[in-house]
């Protein structure tokens, strides 16, 4: 058996097993979406699986333009694909991607917003993408907006090399842009962390401790307040504890006067967690469930068929040559 005759059925077996396994993951995501109700960002439970829906907030004083479409975006992503050609067919394979922002903010008019880190999310989209094709030998002729966007986000790229190749070793590339418009409604399913940071408590200074201690020693009402065992006598330990409590209160500085703002606070933070479905989509929930269910069924049933076909062909080739 030649190497080509061995490679193709082995690839079919591996692909079939991979599709079968990932099909169950997709099915799990679909059922999770159906089982978890949509929560309000301001009142949803953090520290668990949460499903929210809100409108994308554009960054303040910043206007984004899609590098291919030129459309106004609150967020865009660009997938980088290469054309893979075989003796029977050809297809586009995604090798890399980059995002305009590491995160987006969602507002559902509940008085709070959610911060969504895009890296690691499965992005399910509706709408029309914009793409641009070019050979690697002609990268120097790439449109300026796309060229600039790639160079600005080069630190996100792992597999794509932005350099011209020779006429002999060139490869066809396609750049696919997806854009979320400002105020577009987006759905998120994932593990929600708290976005509220607790202020750090400062170490008690000696001056504030002594000031509080003297105040307690001079005030019978304060002595009665910190007399924990209510025996009518303020012991040394009770006095010290009371001085610490009062001292921290005296040490707290008045918060600086801040300008009034209508910007809601970040209540939830979403980011990728191992073993937890993490989905970002601009589709309606029912349409998203249908798409995921269809993909899951195709993988779960089609994967074994492809794997068995590959194994059958490999067995046939082995015992007939």
User: Bigger pLDDT: 123 or 62?
Assistant: 123
What is the distance between the alpha carbons of residues 72 and 63, in angstroms, rounded to a whole number?
Answer: 7
Check if the beta carbon of residue 172 is closer than 8 Å to that of residue 138.
Answer: no
Mean pLDDT over 235-250 rounds to: 81
Q: DSSP labels for 13-36?
A: HHHHHHHHHHHHHHHHHHHHHHHS
The tokens for 238 are 């009770």
3-state class of 122 per DSSP?
strand
Q: Write down the pTM of the prediction.
A: 0.62
> What is the per-residue pLDDT for 254?
41
Q: ∠ CA 146-151-154 to the nearest 5 degrees?
A: 120
Check if the beta carbon of residue 135 is closer than 8 Å to that of residue 172.
Answer: yes
Q: Is the pLDDT of residue 237 over 90?
A: no
> What is the per-residue pLDDT for 24?
65
> What is the per-residue pLDDT for 245?
77
pLDDT digits (tens, 9 = 90+) for 273-296: 887 788 888 887 766 667 667 676
pLDDT digits (tens, 9 = 90+) for 298-320: 777 777 777 777 777 777 766 66
- Beta strands at 112-117 and 265-270: parallel, antiparallel or unpaired: parallel
What is the distance between the alpha carbons of residues 117 and 103, in angstroms, rounded to a whole number?
Answer: 4
Query: What are the boundaries of each domain within the chain?
Result: 41-197+263-292, 206-250
Closest CA to 173 of 145, 150, 148: 150
pLDDT digits (tens, 9 = 90+) for 9-57: 677 777 777 767 776 666 666 666 666 778 889 888 888 888 899 999 8
> What is the per-residue pLDDT for 68?
94
Q: DSSP labels for 252-282?
A: PPPPPP-----PPEEEEEE---TTS--EEES
3-state class of 212 per DSSP?
helix
Question: Count of CB atoms within 10 A of residue 19's CB?
Answer: 21
What is the distance between the alpha carbons of residues 117 and 135, in angstroms, rounded to a whole number?
Answer: 32
User: Bigger pLDDT: 171 or 23?
Assistant: 171
Handedness of CA 221, 227, 229, 232 (dihedral sign): negative
User: Bigger pLDDT: 254 or 147?
Assistant: 147
The tokens for 179 are 């854009």
Mean pLDDT of the chain: 80
> Distances in Å between the alpha carbon of 128 and those of 68, 176, 272?
13, 10, 26
DSSP 38: B
User: Strands across the sheet with 90-99, in order?
Assistant: 90-99, 75-85, 172-180, 130-135
Mean pLDDT over 243-264 rounds to: 62
Find residue 185's DSSP bridge partners: 55
Q: Binning pLDDT at 50, 70 and 90, where does residue 169 land?
A: confident
What is the distance between the alpha carbons of residues 250 and 238, in angstroms, rounded to a whole number?
Answer: 18
What is the distance between the alpha carbons of residues 48 and 4, in angstroms, rounded to a whole number?
Answer: 49
> What is the per-residue pLDDT for 233?
82
Handedness of CA 207, 209, 212, 215 (dihedral sign): negative
Residue in this structure with the two tokens 């509220």, named with its chain if needed? 196
User: Bigger pLDDT: 271 or 169?
Assistant: 271
Mean pLDDT over 53-75 rounds to: 87
pLDDT digits (tens, 9 = 90+) for 185-229: 998 888 888 876 655 666 778 888 888 888 888 888 778 777 777
Mean pLDDT over 160-164 rounds to: 80
């Amino acid at each position: 058996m030649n190497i080509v005759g061995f490679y193709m059925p082995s690839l079919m077996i591996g692909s079939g097993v991979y599709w079968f396994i990932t099909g169950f993951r997709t099915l799990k995501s679909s059922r999770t979406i159906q089982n978890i109700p949509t929560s309000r960002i301001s009142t949803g439970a953090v520290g668990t699986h949460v499903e929210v829906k809100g409108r994308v907030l554009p960054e303040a004083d910043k206007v984004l333009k899609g590098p291919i479409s030129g459309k106004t975006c609150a967020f865009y992503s660009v997938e980088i694909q290469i054309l893979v050609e075989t003796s029977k067919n050809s297809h586009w394979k995604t090798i890399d991607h980059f995002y305009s922002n590491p995160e987006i903010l969602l507002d559902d008019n509940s008085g709070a917003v959610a911060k969504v880190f895009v890296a690691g999310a499965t992005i399910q989209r509706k709408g029309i993408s914009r793409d641009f094709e070019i050979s690697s030998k002609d990268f120097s002729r790439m449109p300026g907006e796309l060229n600039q966007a790639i160079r600005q986000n080069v630190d996100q790229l792992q597999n794509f090399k932005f350099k011209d190749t020779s006429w002999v070793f060139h490869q066809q590339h396609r750049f696919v842009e997806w854009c979320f418009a400002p105020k577009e409604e987006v759905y998120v399913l994932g593990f929600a962390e708290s976005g509220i940071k607790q202020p750090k408590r400062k170490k008690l200074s000696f001056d504030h401790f002594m000031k509080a201690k003297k105040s307690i020693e001079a005030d019978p009402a304060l002595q009665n307040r910190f007399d924990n065992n209510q025996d009518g006598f303020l012991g040394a330990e009770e006095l010290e504890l009371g001085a610490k409590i009062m001292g921290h209160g005296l040490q707290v500085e008045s918060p600086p006067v801040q300008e009034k703002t209508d910007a809601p606070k970040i209540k939830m933070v979403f980011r990728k967690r191992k073993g937890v479905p993490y989905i970002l989509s601009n589709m309606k929930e029912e349409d998203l469930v249908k798409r995921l269910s269809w993909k899951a069924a195709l993988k779960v049933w089609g994967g074994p068929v492809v794997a068995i076909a590959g194994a059958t062909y490999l067995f046939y080739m082995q015992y007939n040559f």
